[in-house]
Amino acid sequence: MQYRTLGRTGVQVSSLALGAMNFGAIGRTTQEEASAIVEAALDAGINVIDTADMYAQGESEEMVGRAIAGRRDDIVLATKATMPMGEERNSRGSSRRWLTRALEDSLRRLDVDHVDLYQVHRWDPTTSDEETLSALTDLQRAGKIRYFGSSTFPAYRIVQAQWAAREHHLGRYTTEQPSYSVLQRGIEGHVLPVTAEYGMGVLVWSPLASGWLSGAVRAGREVSTNRSAFMPQRFDLSIPSNQARLDAVERLAKVADEAGLTMIQLALGFATAHPAVTSAIIGPRTLEHLHSQTAAADIVLSADVLDAIDEIVPPGVDLAPQEKFDTPPALLDPALRRR
């Protein structure tokens, strides 16, 4: 396992992080399976576990808490808040009111007294940076979080938050968690240059592109990944972007074969090769999935392989731009464009 420094924190983290989104209802992973996955991941050298309050509405955090009992000091524990947690209108967002309550709920579910990294799951356009950063700074000073970060923020919002922290003399986001894979490279043109400029750690999610890069999606085969069951539109080949992804996957499979790699090794090796990326978050549902992914832990792709990937999906290109989660609200809501 490779280890890198998380931004400028001095904390050493593994190049692969264990994501717990599939624990519970989303991935149908039981407590027994989750505990076995956590134990095997730690034994393989992974020392980062990432979850969120909204994963199965708290069930993932509860399962992580049970799985890490007795090994808390071995783990850089990360969770997230801001996504809706129930129907009550204030049970979401990044206000001081909600983040304070959400963290207490997460600590209870995880059965810990602090988390190492607390992340704002999405930018909340209704809340000022000063409000959010002041709340997070106070939670940090209270010892309930060690560091805080953002997740899936547009590049300009990352910059704005850094300036707000400086202007108001508050703690700053030390990490960003964006989506990144061979098939979704848009952040190379805007987010990653910004995170590098500010010395932020970067934990990328979906490096296997929701299963597209797992080896399970190939031409002529029926798609049967977990994501395809509840996100069928992401695998509908009548949609041009999905056909483009399949065409790219077929070409990438040839590159992997010629390099003596699995598709998973190629995909994770690519994600961790970028100098601005600290760790790639894997989200196994089974021990078999975990072992196939930790097999990529020490993969270093050659320049020839990276060049071949660039020929298939050019740097900075998203093959499925409609699936981006950092699009500015003004591009999505006509009322904001025409105000």
- Residue the block writes with tokens 């420094």: 5
Active site residues: 55
Strand-pair partners of 204: 280
Convert the pLDDT of each residue in 91-120 to its tens digit: 999 999 999 999 999 999 999 999 999 999
Closest CA to 223 of 207, 239, 199: 239
Q: What is the pLDDT of residues 28-87, one digit of tens each?
A: 999 999 999 999 999 999 999 999 999 999 999 999 999 999 999 989 999 999 999 999
Q: How far apart are the first and last CA of the chain?
A: 51
Q: 260-316: per-residue pLDDT in tens?
A: 999 999 999 999 999 999 999 999 999 999 999 999 999 999 999 999 999 999 999
CATH number at residue 122: 3.20.20.100
Other residues' Cβ atoms within 10 Å of the Cβ of residue 108: 13
Q: Which domain holds residue 286?
A: 3-337
At position 158, the amino acid (one-letter code) is I
Structural domains in the chain (count): 1
